[in-house]
Structure 1
Amino acid sequence: MKLATLKDSTRDGRLVVVSKDLTRCSEVGHIARTLQAALDDWAYVGPRLERVAEGVETGAQPTIRFHEHDAASPLPRAFASSLGGYFSAPRDPLNISSGEAQVEARAVVILDDFLTDADASSNGPQVALVMLAATVSANGGDTAFSPVAVTRDELENLSLHLTINGNPVSDSSKSGAGSSIDDIAIPAPNRSLGAGSIVITGLDGVQTTVRAGDTFRLESNDRTGHSIFGAIERKTASAG
Protein backbone atom coordinates (compact mmCIF):
# COMPACT_ATOMS: atom_id res chain seq x y z
CA MET A 1 0.00 0.00 0.00
CA LYS A 2 1.18 3.52 -0.81
CA LEU A 3 -0.02 6.59 1.08
CA ALA A 4 0.50 10.31 0.52
CA THR A 5 -0.63 13.61 2.00
CA LEU A 6 -1.95 16.26 -0.37
CA LYS A 7 -1.43 19.90 0.52
CA ASP A 8 -4.47 21.90 1.59
CA SER A 9 -5.18 24.83 3.90
CA THR A 10 -4.44 22.80 7.05
CA ARG A 11 -1.13 21.95 8.73
CA ASP A 12 -1.58 18.20 8.27
CA GLY A 13 -3.02 18.03 4.75
CA ARG A 14 -5.36 15.28 3.62
CA LEU A 15 -4.58 11.58 3.30
CA VAL A 16 -4.87 9.69 0.00
CA VAL A 17 -4.15 6.14 -1.12
CA VAL A 18 -1.87 6.14 -4.18
CA SER A 19 -1.69 3.62 -7.01
CA LYS A 20 1.39 1.44 -7.31
CA ASP A 21 2.52 3.35 -10.42
CA LEU A 22 2.10 6.73 -8.63
CA THR A 23 -0.30 8.10 -11.26
CA ARG A 24 -3.64 8.00 -9.42
CA CYS A 25 -4.94 8.40 -5.89
CA SER A 26 -8.16 7.99 -3.94
CA GLU A 27 -9.33 10.33 -1.20
CA VAL A 28 -10.02 8.55 2.09
CA GLY A 29 -11.31 11.30 4.38
CA HIS A 30 -14.25 9.07 5.31
CA ILE A 31 -11.74 6.62 6.82
CA ALA A 32 -9.04 8.95 8.16
CA ARG A 33 -8.51 12.56 7.15
CA THR A 34 -4.79 12.59 7.95
CA LEU A 35 -1.99 10.06 8.14
CA GLN A 36 -1.55 10.75 11.85
CA ALA A 37 -5.23 9.95 12.45
CA ALA A 38 -4.77 6.68 10.56
CA LEU A 39 -1.70 5.75 12.61
CA ASP A 40 -3.49 6.52 15.87
CA ASP A 41 -5.94 3.69 15.07
CA TRP A 42 -3.83 1.61 12.70
CA ALA A 43 -5.23 -1.75 13.79
CA TYR A 44 -8.67 -0.69 12.50
CA VAL A 45 -7.82 1.87 9.84
CA GLY A 46 -4.89 0.07 8.18
CA PRO A 47 -6.98 -2.84 6.81
CA ARG A 48 -9.62 -0.41 5.53
CA LEU A 49 -6.99 1.55 3.66
CA GLU A 50 -5.61 -1.71 2.24
CA ARG A 51 -9.03 -2.45 0.77
CA VAL A 52 -9.08 0.98 -0.85
CA ALA A 53 -5.63 0.27 -2.28
CA GLU A 54 -6.91 -2.95 -3.81
CA GLY A 55 -9.83 -1.04 -5.34
CA VAL A 56 -7.48 1.55 -6.81
CA GLU A 57 -5.55 -1.19 -8.62
CA THR A 58 -8.65 -3.01 -9.90
CA GLY A 59 -10.54 0.12 -10.93
CA ALA A 60 -13.27 -0.44 -8.35
CA GLN A 61 -12.31 2.70 -6.43
CA PRO A 62 -12.84 6.25 -7.75
CA THR A 63 -9.54 8.06 -8.27
CA ILE A 64 -8.09 11.40 -9.24
CA ARG A 65 -4.78 12.17 -10.88
CA PHE A 66 -1.82 12.10 -8.48
CA HIS A 67 0.89 14.71 -8.94
CA GLU A 68 3.99 14.56 -6.75
CA HIS A 69 4.22 18.36 -6.78
CA ASP A 70 0.87 18.50 -4.93
CA ALA A 71 2.15 16.32 -2.09
CA ALA A 72 3.41 17.41 1.29
CA SER A 73 5.71 15.10 3.19
CA PRO A 74 3.51 12.12 4.20
CA LEU A 75 3.71 13.32 7.81
CA PRO A 76 4.01 17.12 7.57
CA ARG A 77 4.79 17.16 11.30
CA ALA A 78 5.61 14.49 13.83
CA PHE A 79 5.21 14.26 17.59
CA ALA A 80 8.44 12.29 17.99
CA SER A 81 11.33 12.45 15.55
CA SER A 82 15.09 12.93 15.69
CA LEU A 83 14.80 14.88 12.42
CA GLY A 84 12.71 17.76 13.78
CA GLY A 85 9.01 18.36 14.24
CA TYR A 86 7.95 20.10 11.02
CA PHE A 87 8.97 18.98 7.56
CA SER A 88 9.26 20.53 4.12
CA ALA A 89 7.38 19.18 1.12
CA PRO A 90 9.45 16.99 -1.23
CA ARG A 91 9.48 19.59 -4.03
CA ASP A 92 9.85 22.76 -1.91
CA PRO A 93 12.69 25.11 -2.91
CA LEU A 94 15.48 25.41 -0.36
CA ASN A 95 17.36 28.52 0.69
CA ILE A 96 20.96 28.06 1.85
CA SER A 97 22.26 30.78 4.13
CA SER A 98 25.92 29.94 3.50
CA GLY A 99 27.67 29.02 0.29
CA GLU A 100 27.08 25.28 0.65
CA ALA A 101 25.35 22.69 2.80
CA GLN A 102 25.49 18.97 3.50
CA VAL A 103 22.69 16.66 2.34
CA GLU A 104 22.10 13.36 4.10
CA ALA A 105 19.82 10.89 2.34
CA ARG A 106 18.47 7.81 4.09
CA ALA A 107 15.48 5.57 4.71
CA VAL A 108 13.24 6.13 7.73
CA VAL A 109 10.24 4.36 9.19
CA ILE A 110 6.98 5.56 10.70
CA LEU A 111 5.79 3.59 13.71
CA ASP A 112 2.39 2.53 14.90
CA ASP A 113 1.70 1.37 18.44
CA PHE A 114 -0.45 -1.65 17.68
CA LEU A 115 0.91 -4.96 19.00
CA THR A 116 -0.40 -8.27 17.70
CA ASP A 117 0.08 -11.43 19.77
CA ALA A 118 3.04 -12.30 17.55
CA ASP A 119 4.58 -8.88 18.14
CA ALA A 120 4.09 -8.85 21.91
CA SER A 121 7.57 -10.18 22.66
CA SER A 122 9.14 -7.18 20.92
CA ASN A 123 8.01 -4.92 23.79
CA GLY A 124 7.53 -1.91 21.55
CA PRO A 125 5.83 -0.27 18.58
CA GLN A 126 5.98 -1.67 15.06
CA VAL A 127 6.96 -0.37 11.63
CA ALA A 128 3.86 0.84 9.80
CA LEU A 129 5.41 2.62 6.81
CA VAL A 130 8.75 3.26 5.13
CA MET A 131 9.80 6.46 3.33
CA LEU A 132 12.89 8.31 2.16
CA ALA A 133 14.32 11.37 3.90
CA ALA A 134 16.73 14.08 2.78
CA THR A 135 18.07 16.38 5.49
CA VAL A 136 20.00 19.51 4.56
CA SER A 137 22.25 21.13 7.14
CA ALA A 138 20.97 24.61 6.35
CA ASN A 139 19.06 26.97 8.61
CA GLY A 140 19.20 24.58 11.54
CA GLY A 141 18.40 21.48 9.48
CA ASP A 142 15.68 21.10 6.86
CA THR A 143 14.17 17.66 6.23
CA ALA A 144 11.82 16.58 3.46
CA PHE A 145 10.34 13.13 3.00
CA SER A 146 9.43 11.30 -0.19
CA PRO A 147 5.98 12.12 -1.65
CA VAL A 148 4.78 8.61 -0.78
CA ALA A 149 5.20 6.34 2.24
CA VAL A 150 4.78 2.61 1.65
CA THR A 151 4.08 -0.54 3.62
CA ARG A 152 6.93 -3.03 3.79
CA ASP A 153 5.23 -5.47 1.40
CA GLU A 154 5.79 -2.91 -1.40
CA LEU A 155 9.56 -3.38 -1.08
CA GLU A 156 11.80 -6.17 -2.30
CA ASN A 157 15.00 -4.32 -1.61
CA LEU A 158 15.87 -0.70 -0.93
CA SER A 159 18.52 1.31 -2.76
CA LEU A 160 19.08 5.05 -2.83
CA HIS A 161 19.51 7.02 -6.06
CA LEU A 162 20.85 10.51 -5.32
CA THR A 163 21.76 12.98 -8.07
CA ILE A 164 22.90 16.61 -8.14
CA ASN A 165 22.03 18.51 -11.31
CA GLY A 166 21.32 15.17 -12.95
CA ASN A 167 24.72 13.72 -12.09
CA PRO A 168 24.68 10.58 -9.93
CA VAL A 169 26.13 10.76 -6.45
CA SER A 170 24.94 7.30 -5.47
CA ASP A 171 23.18 4.44 -7.21
CA SER A 172 23.43 1.50 -4.86
CA SER A 173 21.24 -0.79 -6.98
CA LYS A 174 23.75 -0.74 -9.84
CA SER A 175 26.58 -1.50 -7.44
CA GLY A 176 24.65 -4.37 -5.94
CA ALA A 177 24.53 -2.63 -2.58
CA GLY A 178 20.76 -2.42 -2.27
CA SER A 179 19.62 -3.34 1.23
CA SER A 180 17.21 -6.17 1.93
CA ILE A 181 13.89 -5.12 3.37
CA ASP A 182 14.62 -7.57 6.17
CA ASP A 183 17.27 -5.10 7.35
CA ILE A 184 14.67 -2.44 8.11
CA ALA A 185 13.96 -2.52 11.82
CA ILE A 186 13.47 -0.25 14.80
CA PRO A 187 16.93 0.28 16.33
CA ALA A 188 15.72 -0.42 19.86
CA PRO A 189 12.19 -1.12 21.12
CA ASN A 190 11.04 1.81 23.20
CA ARG A 191 7.61 2.25 24.72
CA SER A 192 8.04 6.03 24.59
CA LEU A 193 7.81 5.85 20.79
CA GLY A 194 4.16 5.85 19.79
CA ALA A 195 2.05 6.10 16.66
CA GLY A 196 3.49 8.55 14.16
CA SER A 197 7.03 8.52 15.54
CA ILE A 198 9.68 8.73 12.82
CA VAL A 199 12.81 6.64 13.35
CA ILE A 200 16.03 6.51 11.33
CA THR A 201 16.78 2.97 10.20
CA GLY A 202 20.08 1.14 10.39
CA LEU A 203 20.36 1.12 6.59
CA ASP A 204 23.34 2.97 5.14
CA GLY A 205 22.65 6.55 4.10
CA VAL A 206 24.35 8.79 1.54
CA GLN A 207 25.96 12.16 2.18
CA THR A 208 27.03 14.86 -0.26
CA THR A 209 27.45 18.62 -0.58
CA VAL A 210 25.13 21.02 -2.41
CA ARG A 211 25.73 24.63 -3.36
CA ALA A 212 23.31 27.43 -4.12
CA GLY A 213 21.84 26.86 -7.56
CA ASP A 214 22.10 23.05 -7.37
CA THR A 215 19.10 20.75 -7.68
CA PHE A 216 19.30 17.46 -5.82
CA ARG A 217 16.98 14.51 -6.38
CA LEU A 218 16.51 11.39 -4.25
CA GLU A 219 14.44 8.34 -5.09
CA SER A 220 14.44 4.56 -5.00
CA ASN A 221 13.40 2.31 -7.87
CA ASP A 222 12.06 -1.22 -7.95
CA ARG A 223 13.60 -4.01 -10.01
CA THR A 224 11.77 -2.84 -13.14
CA GLY A 225 13.08 0.71 -12.79
CA HIS A 226 9.86 2.28 -11.56
CA SER A 227 9.94 4.78 -8.69
CA ILE A 228 8.69 3.35 -5.40
CA PHE A 229 8.27 6.46 -3.27
CA GLY A 230 8.30 9.24 -5.86
CA ALA A 231 11.16 11.73 -5.73
CA ILE A 232 12.44 14.35 -3.35
CA GLU A 233 13.67 17.05 -5.72
CA ARG A 234 14.73 20.41 -4.32
CA LYS A 235 16.23 23.44 -6.02
CA THR A 236 18.63 25.35 -3.80
CA ALA A 237 19.15 29.09 -3.75
CA SER A 238 21.19 31.53 -1.69
CA ALA A 239 19.29 32.97 1.27
CA GLY A 240 21.16 36.22 0.78
Structure 2
Amino acid sequence: MKLASIENKTRDGKLVVVSRDLTKAVDVSQIAPTMQFALDNWINVEEKLKQVYEDLNNGSVSNIIDFNEVKKMAPIPRAYHWADGSAYVTHVELVRKARNAELPESFWTDPLMYMGASDAFIGANDDIEIEDEEWGIDFESEVAVITDDVPAGISPEEAIKHIKFVTIINDVSLRNLIPNELSKQFGFYQSKPWTSFAPVVVSVDELKNEFVDGKLHLPLISILNGKVFGTPNAGIDMTFNFGQLISHAAKTRSLMAGTVIGSGTVANQGSPTGSSCIAEVRCLETIKDGKPSTSYMKFGDTIEIEMKNAAGESLFGKINQKVKKYEKK
Protein backbone atom coordinates (compact mmCIF):
# COMPACT_ATOMS: atom_id res chain seq x y z
CA MET A 1 0.00 0.00 0.00
CA LYS A 2 0.97 3.64 -0.36
CA LEU A 3 0.43 6.20 2.39
CA ALA A 4 0.92 9.97 2.60
CA SER A 5 0.20 12.88 4.90
CA ILE A 6 -1.59 15.94 3.58
CA GLU A 7 -1.84 19.37 5.15
CA ASN A 8 -4.71 20.05 7.55
CA LYS A 9 -3.23 22.94 9.58
CA THR A 10 -1.69 20.62 12.18
CA ARG A 11 1.93 19.60 12.60
CA ASP A 12 1.27 15.94 11.84
CA GLY A 13 -1.15 16.38 8.94
CA LYS A 14 -3.90 13.99 7.89
CA LEU A 15 -3.19 10.41 6.82
CA VAL A 16 -4.40 9.33 3.37
CA VAL A 17 -4.16 6.12 1.38
CA VAL A 18 -2.81 6.83 -2.12
CA SER A 19 -3.52 4.89 -5.30
CA ARG A 20 -0.79 2.84 -6.95
CA ASP A 21 -0.49 5.38 -9.79
CA LEU A 22 -0.25 8.28 -7.30
CA THR A 23 -3.22 10.16 -8.77
CA LYS A 24 -5.96 9.53 -6.19
CA ALA A 25 -6.19 9.39 -2.41
CA VAL A 26 -8.71 8.63 0.33
CA ASP A 27 -8.91 10.21 3.78
CA VAL A 28 -8.44 7.43 6.34
CA SER A 29 -8.46 9.56 9.48
CA GLN A 30 -11.36 7.50 10.83
CA ILE A 31 -8.94 4.53 10.88
CA ALA A 32 -5.73 6.35 11.72
CA PRO A 33 -5.61 10.15 11.93
CA THR A 34 -1.82 10.34 11.45
CA MET A 35 1.05 8.21 10.22
CA GLN A 36 2.48 7.92 13.73
CA PHE A 37 -0.89 6.77 15.07
CA ALA A 38 -1.01 4.10 12.36
CA LEU A 39 2.47 2.84 13.24
CA ASP A 40 1.73 2.86 16.97
CA ASN A 41 -1.42 0.82 16.37
CA TRP A 42 -0.29 -1.20 13.36
CA ILE A 43 -1.67 -4.54 14.51
CA ASN A 44 -5.16 -2.98 14.65
CA VAL A 45 -5.13 -0.82 11.52
CA GLU A 46 -3.02 -2.67 8.94
CA GLU A 47 -5.78 -4.80 7.44
CA LYS A 48 -8.23 -1.91 7.38
CA LEU A 49 -5.76 0.30 5.51
CA LYS A 50 -4.95 -2.53 3.09
CA GLN A 51 -8.64 -2.92 2.31
CA VAL A 52 -8.98 0.79 1.56
CA TYR A 53 -5.93 0.56 -0.72
CA GLU A 54 -7.44 -2.36 -2.64
CA ASP A 55 -10.81 -0.62 -2.93
CA LEU A 56 -9.18 2.61 -4.12
CA ASN A 57 -7.24 0.83 -6.86
CA ASN A 58 -10.35 -1.12 -7.86
CA GLY A 59 -12.42 2.04 -8.11
CA SER A 60 -14.88 0.98 -5.42
CA VAL A 61 -14.55 3.88 -2.96
CA SER A 62 -16.21 7.29 -2.77
CA ASN A 63 -14.91 10.63 -1.49
CA ILE A 64 -11.80 10.37 -3.63
CA ILE A 65 -9.22 13.15 -3.35
CA ASP A 66 -7.18 14.34 -6.34
CA PHE A 67 -3.70 13.63 -4.99
CA ASN A 68 -2.13 16.02 -7.50
CA GLU A 69 -4.07 18.95 -6.08
CA VAL A 70 -3.40 18.60 -2.33
CA LYS A 71 -0.56 20.07 -0.28
CA LYS A 72 1.71 17.15 0.57
CA MET A 73 3.66 17.04 3.80
CA ALA A 74 6.38 14.51 4.55
CA PRO A 75 4.56 11.17 4.94
CA ILE A 76 5.72 11.17 8.56
CA PRO A 77 5.98 14.90 9.30
CA ARG A 78 7.91 14.34 12.52
CA ALA A 79 9.30 11.20 14.10
CA TYR A 80 10.57 10.11 17.46
CA HIS A 81 13.81 8.82 15.95
CA TRP A 82 15.73 9.49 12.72
CA ALA A 83 19.13 7.89 12.13
CA ASP A 84 21.10 8.02 8.90
CA GLY A 85 23.68 5.42 8.01
CA SER A 86 26.45 5.44 5.45
CA ALA A 87 25.76 2.14 3.76
CA TYR A 88 27.68 2.87 0.55
CA VAL A 89 31.22 2.57 1.86
CA THR A 90 32.76 3.17 -1.58
CA HIS A 91 31.33 6.72 -1.28
CA VAL A 92 33.09 7.21 2.08
CA GLU A 93 36.28 5.73 0.64
CA LEU A 94 36.20 8.20 -2.25
CA VAL A 95 35.66 11.19 0.05
CA ARG A 96 38.62 10.18 2.18
CA LYS A 97 40.80 9.49 -0.87
CA ALA A 98 40.18 13.03 -2.11
CA ARG A 99 41.78 14.38 1.05
CA ASN A 100 44.55 11.74 1.12
CA ALA A 101 43.12 9.98 4.16
CA GLU A 102 43.13 6.22 4.70
CA LEU A 103 39.83 4.39 5.16
CA PRO A 104 39.93 2.36 8.40
CA GLU A 105 39.26 -1.36 7.81
CA SER A 106 36.47 -1.25 10.41
CA PHE A 107 34.38 0.92 8.05
CA TRP A 108 33.71 -2.21 5.95
CA THR A 109 32.30 -4.16 8.91
CA ASP A 110 30.84 -1.57 11.28
CA PRO A 111 28.39 1.00 9.84
CA LEU A 112 28.74 4.73 10.30
CA MET A 113 25.55 6.35 11.62
CA TYR A 114 24.40 9.69 13.01
CA MET A 115 21.16 10.78 14.63
CA GLY A 116 19.44 13.58 12.73
CA ALA A 117 16.79 16.19 13.50
CA SER A 118 13.44 14.40 13.54
CA ASP A 119 11.34 17.15 15.15
CA ALA A 120 10.27 18.17 11.65
CA PHE A 121 10.62 16.67 8.18
CA ILE A 122 9.59 18.69 5.13
CA GLY A 123 7.52 17.81 2.09
CA ALA A 124 8.63 16.89 -1.40
CA ASN A 125 7.85 20.34 -2.83
CA ASP A 126 8.92 22.50 0.10
CA ASP A 127 11.76 24.95 -0.46
CA ILE A 128 15.21 24.25 0.96
CA GLU A 129 15.60 27.40 3.03
CA ILE A 130 19.20 28.23 3.92
CA GLU A 131 20.56 31.49 5.29
CA ASP A 132 23.94 31.59 3.53
CA GLU A 133 25.15 30.14 0.20
CA GLU A 134 28.68 30.02 1.61
CA TRP A 135 27.65 27.16 3.89
CA GLY A 136 28.03 24.78 0.93
CA ILE A 137 24.49 23.64 0.14
CA ASP A 138 24.32 20.05 -1.13
CA PHE A 139 21.55 17.55 -1.76
CA GLU A 140 21.88 13.87 -0.83
CA SER A 141 19.60 11.39 -2.58
CA GLU A 142 18.92 8.42 -0.33
CA VAL A 143 16.60 5.51 0.39
CA ALA A 144 14.93 5.32 3.80
CA VAL A 145 12.80 2.83 5.71
CA ILE A 146 10.32 3.19 8.56
CA THR A 147 10.08 0.51 11.23
CA ASP A 148 7.65 -0.74 13.82
CA ASP A 149 8.89 -1.42 17.37
CA VAL A 150 12.34 -3.01 17.19
CA PRO A 151 13.78 -4.85 20.22
CA ALA A 152 17.32 -4.13 21.37
CA GLY A 153 20.03 -6.55 20.31
CA ILE A 154 18.15 -7.77 17.26
CA SER A 155 19.99 -9.63 14.49
CA PRO A 156 20.17 -8.17 10.96
CA GLU A 157 18.06 -11.04 9.64
CA GLU A 158 15.28 -10.41 12.16
CA ALA A 159 15.57 -6.63 11.81
CA ILE A 160 14.47 -6.75 8.16
CA LYS A 161 11.11 -8.13 9.31
CA HIS A 162 10.46 -4.90 11.23
CA ILE A 163 10.56 -2.69 8.13
CA LYS A 164 7.04 -1.47 7.35
CA PHE A 165 7.63 1.17 4.69
CA VAL A 166 10.24 2.30 2.17
CA THR A 167 10.67 5.73 0.58
CA ILE A 168 13.29 8.14 -0.80
CA ILE A 169 14.60 11.30 0.83
CA ASN A 170 16.79 14.35 0.30
CA ASP A 171 19.12 14.57 3.30
CA VAL A 172 20.47 18.09 2.75
CA SER A 173 24.02 18.83 3.95
CA LEU A 174 25.85 22.10 4.51
CA ARG A 175 29.27 20.91 3.46
CA ASN A 176 31.31 23.90 4.54
CA LEU A 177 30.02 23.64 8.11
CA ILE A 178 30.84 19.95 8.44
CA PRO A 179 34.66 20.11 8.94
CA ASN A 180 34.43 22.38 11.98
CA GLU A 181 31.75 20.24 13.58
CA LEU A 182 33.57 16.96 12.97
CA SER A 183 36.82 18.44 14.29
CA LYS A 184 35.12 18.63 17.69
CA GLN A 185 34.62 14.84 17.49
CA PHE A 186 30.98 15.06 18.51
CA GLY A 187 29.09 14.66 15.23
CA PHE A 188 26.78 16.67 12.98
CA TYR A 189 24.30 19.27 14.17
CA GLN A 190 24.33 22.66 12.43
CA SER A 191 25.47 21.12 9.15
CA LYS A 192 22.33 18.97 8.79
CA PRO A 193 19.15 21.03 8.24
CA TRP A 194 15.70 19.48 7.77
CA THR A 195 15.38 16.37 5.63
CA SER A 196 12.74 16.22 2.90
CA PHE A 197 10.70 13.16 1.92
CA ALA A 198 9.07 11.88 -1.25
CA PRO A 199 5.26 12.30 -1.28
CA VAL A 200 4.48 8.70 -0.29
CA VAL A 201 5.85 5.73 1.60
CA VAL A 202 5.33 2.26 0.14
CA SER A 203 4.79 -0.94 2.13
CA VAL A 204 7.37 -3.69 1.73
CA ASP A 205 4.80 -6.14 0.33
CA GLU A 206 4.14 -3.72 -2.54
CA LEU A 207 7.86 -3.90 -3.44
CA LYS A 208 8.31 -7.68 -3.44
CA ASN A 209 10.18 -7.60 -6.76
CA GLU A 210 12.31 -4.54 -5.92
CA PHE A 211 13.04 -4.69 -2.18
CA VAL A 212 15.09 -7.87 -1.83
CA ASP A 213 17.53 -8.86 0.94
CA GLY A 214 17.07 -5.52 2.67
CA LYS A 215 18.05 -3.50 -0.41
CA LEU A 216 16.00 -1.55 -2.96
CA HIS A 217 17.24 -2.67 -6.38
CA LEU A 218 16.32 0.29 -8.59
CA PRO A 219 18.09 3.40 -9.95
CA LEU A 220 17.73 6.57 -7.90
CA ILE A 221 17.46 9.52 -10.28
CA SER A 222 18.78 12.97 -9.31
CA ILE A 223 18.19 15.93 -11.62
CA LEU A 224 20.02 19.15 -10.76
CA ASN A 225 18.78 22.31 -12.47
CA GLY A 226 17.00 20.28 -15.14
CA LYS A 227 19.98 18.05 -16.02
CA VAL A 228 20.45 14.43 -14.99
CA PHE A 229 23.10 14.39 -12.27
CA GLY A 230 23.14 10.72 -11.25
CA THR A 231 21.26 7.45 -11.66
CA PRO A 232 23.00 4.93 -9.38
CA ASN A 233 21.22 1.66 -8.60
CA ALA A 234 20.47 1.64 -4.88
CA GLY A 235 20.93 -2.13 -4.68
CA ILE A 236 24.50 -2.05 -6.01
CA ASP A 237 27.54 -1.28 -3.81
CA MET A 238 25.34 -1.14 -0.68
CA THR A 239 27.80 -2.59 1.84
CA PHE A 240 25.25 -2.73 4.68
CA ASN A 241 21.62 -3.59 3.98
CA PHE A 242 18.78 -2.11 6.00
CA GLY A 243 18.68 -5.13 8.30
CA GLN A 244 22.29 -4.45 9.24
CA LEU A 245 21.66 -0.72 9.68
CA ILE A 246 18.64 -1.32 11.94
CA SER A 247 20.55 -3.93 13.94
CA HIS A 248 23.39 -1.45 14.39
CA ALA A 249 20.99 1.26 15.60
CA ALA A 250 19.31 -1.17 18.01
CA LYS A 251 22.50 -2.65 19.49
CA THR A 252 22.02 -1.13 22.94
CA ARG A 253 18.41 0.10 22.97
CA SER A 254 15.05 -0.61 21.41
CA LEU A 255 13.73 1.47 18.54
CA MET A 256 10.20 2.83 18.79
CA ALA A 257 7.55 2.49 16.07
CA GLY A 258 8.04 5.20 13.48
CA THR A 259 11.84 5.11 13.57
CA VAL A 260 13.28 6.30 10.25
CA ILE A 261 16.58 4.78 9.07
CA GLY A 262 18.40 6.26 6.05
CA SER A 263 20.83 4.53 3.73
CA GLY A 264 23.22 7.41 3.32
CA THR A 265 24.09 8.82 -0.10
CA VAL A 266 23.46 6.22 -2.80
CA ALA A 267 26.55 5.66 -4.92
CA ASN A 268 27.88 3.23 -7.53
CA GLN A 269 31.63 2.88 -7.81
CA GLY A 270 33.18 3.62 -11.18
CA SER A 271 29.98 4.75 -12.87
CA PRO A 272 29.88 8.13 -14.66
CA THR A 273 26.32 8.60 -13.35
CA GLY A 274 26.86 6.89 -10.02
CA SER A 275 26.73 9.91 -7.71
CA SER A 276 23.85 11.26 -5.63
CA CYS A 277 25.43 14.38 -4.16
CA ILE A 278 27.65 17.22 -5.32
CA ALA A 279 30.35 16.43 -2.76
CA GLU A 280 31.12 13.10 -4.42
CA VAL A 281 31.50 14.70 -7.85
CA ARG A 282 33.81 17.32 -6.33
CA CYS A 283 35.91 14.50 -4.85
CA LEU A 284 36.19 12.82 -8.25
CA GLU A 285 37.27 16.14 -9.77
CA THR A 286 39.84 16.66 -7.01
CA ILE A 287 41.34 13.21 -7.56
CA LYS A 288 41.49 13.77 -11.32
CA ASP A 289 42.39 17.47 -11.60
CA GLY A 290 43.73 18.41 -8.19
CA LYS A 291 40.75 20.63 -7.40
CA PRO A 292 36.94 20.61 -7.68
CA SER A 293 35.16 22.50 -10.44
CA THR A 294 31.48 21.82 -9.65
CA SER A 295 29.99 24.36 -7.25
CA TYR A 296 27.55 23.65 -4.47
CA MET A 297 23.93 24.74 -4.84
CA LYS A 298 22.98 28.40 -5.05
CA PHE A 299 19.75 30.24 -4.30
CA GLY A 300 17.30 29.47 -7.12
CA ASP A 301 18.82 26.08 -7.94
CA THR A 302 16.45 23.10 -8.15
CA ILE A 303 16.82 19.43 -7.32
CA GLU A 304 14.49 16.62 -8.40
CA ILE A 305 14.80 13.10 -6.96
CA GLU A 306 12.73 10.15 -8.13
CA MET A 307 12.73 6.37 -8.39
CA LYS A 308 10.83 4.46 -11.08
CA ASN A 309 9.97 0.78 -11.35
CA ALA A 310 10.76 -1.44 -14.32
CA ALA A 311 7.64 -0.17 -16.10
CA GLY A 312 8.82 3.43 -15.77
CA GLU A 313 6.22 4.34 -13.13
CA SER A 314 7.14 6.62 -10.24
CA LEU A 315 7.10 4.58 -7.05
CA PHE A 316 7.19 7.26 -4.35
CA GLY A 317 6.41 10.40 -6.31
CA LYS A 318 8.97 13.08 -7.05
CA ILE A 319 10.96 15.28 -4.69
CA ASN A 320 11.11 18.65 -6.46
CA GLN A 321 12.69 21.45 -4.45
CA LYS A 322 14.19 24.89 -4.92
CA VAL A 323 16.93 26.41 -2.79
CA LYS A 324 15.73 29.64 -1.25
CA LYS A 325 17.31 32.20 1.06
CA TYR A 326 15.94 31.85 4.57
CA GLU A 327 14.46 35.05 5.85
CA LYS A 328 13.98 35.43 9.60
CA LYS A 329 10.36 36.14 10.48
Q: TM-score, normalised by structure 2?
A: 0.65
Match of 2:128 in 1: 94
Q: Does 1:33 align with 2:67?
A: no
Please give the alpha-carbon distance, in whole angstroms, between the structure 2 residues aligned to 1:134 and 1:73: 11
Asked whether the 8 Å contact 1:74–1:147 carries over to 2, the reply is yes
Q: Given the alignment, which residue of 149, 170, 187 partners 2:245? A: 187
- Please identify runs of 4+ aligned residues in structure 1 that moved more than 4 A: none
Q: Does 1:223 align with 2:310?
A: yes
CA separation of 1:105 and 1:202: change in aligned 2, threshold 3 A: closer
Structure 2 stretches lacking a partner, 5+ long: 83-114, 175-189, 211-216, 268-275, 279-295
CA separation of 1:228 and 1:159: change in aligned 2, threshold 3 A: same
* Paired residue type of 1:93: D
Please give the alpha-carbon distance, in whole angstroms, between the structure 2 residues aligned to 1:187 and 1:47: 28
Please give the alpha-carbon distance, in whole angstroms, between the structure 2 residues aligned to 1:142 and 1:127: 23
Deviations 1:172-228 (A, max 9, x none): 3xxxx3528xx5435143252110010123783521232211010111011111111
CA separation of 1:111 and 1:188: change in aligned 2, threshold 3 A: closer
Secondary structure at the aligned position of 1:227 is classed as coil
Residue 125 (structure 1) shift: 7.2
Deviates more, 1:146-155 or 1:185-194: 185-194
Asked whether the 8 Å contact 2:171–2:195 carries over to 1, the reply is yes
Asked whether the 8 Å contact 1:77–1:87 carries over to 2, the reply is yes
Asked whether the 8 Å contact 2:150–2:159 carries over to 1, the reply is no
Deviations 1:21-76 (A, max 9, x none): 00000111111000100000112211211111000011112222102761100010
Q: Does 1:167 align with 2:227?
A: yes
Please give the alpha-carbon distance, in whole angstroms, between the structure 1 residues aligned to 2:10 and 2:148: 23
Please give the alpha-carbon distance, in whole angstroms, between the structure 1 residues aligned to 2:230 and 2:25: 30
Deviates more, 1:5-14 or 1:190-199: 190-199
CA separation of 1:102 and 1:149: change in aligned 2, threshold 3 A: same
Match of 2:117 in 1: 84
Deviations 1:10-29 (A, max 9, x none): 11000000000000001111
Structure 1 stretches lacking a partner, 5+ long: none
CA separation of 1:50 and 1:186: change in aligned 2, threshold 3 A: farther
Asked whether the 8 Å contact 2:26–2:56 carries over to 1, the reply is yes
* Paired residue type of 1:108: A
Match of 1:152 in 2: 204
Asked whether the 8 Å contact 2:234–2:266 carries over to 1, the reply is no
Deviations 1:119-141 (A, max 9, x none): 9x837971010111102225641
Secondary structure at the aligned position of 1:237 is classed as strand
What value does the CA root-mean-square deviation take over the aligned residues? 2.6
Matches within 5 A, 1:10-49: 10-49=10-49
Match of 1:106 in 2: 142
Residue 97 (structure 1) shift: 2.2
Match of 2:60 in 1: 60
Q: TM-score, normalised by structure 1?
A: 0.87
Please give the alpha-carbon distance, in whole angstroms, between the structure 1 residues aligned to 2:298 and 2:125: 17
Match of 1:6 in 2: 6
Q: Given the alignment, which residue of 266, 291, 295 partners 1:204? A: 266
Pairs aligned (count):
232
Asked whether the 8 Å contact 1:2–1:17 carries over to 2, the reply is yes
Please give the alpha-carbon distance, in whole angstroms, between the structure 1 residues aligned to 2:20 and 2:325: 36
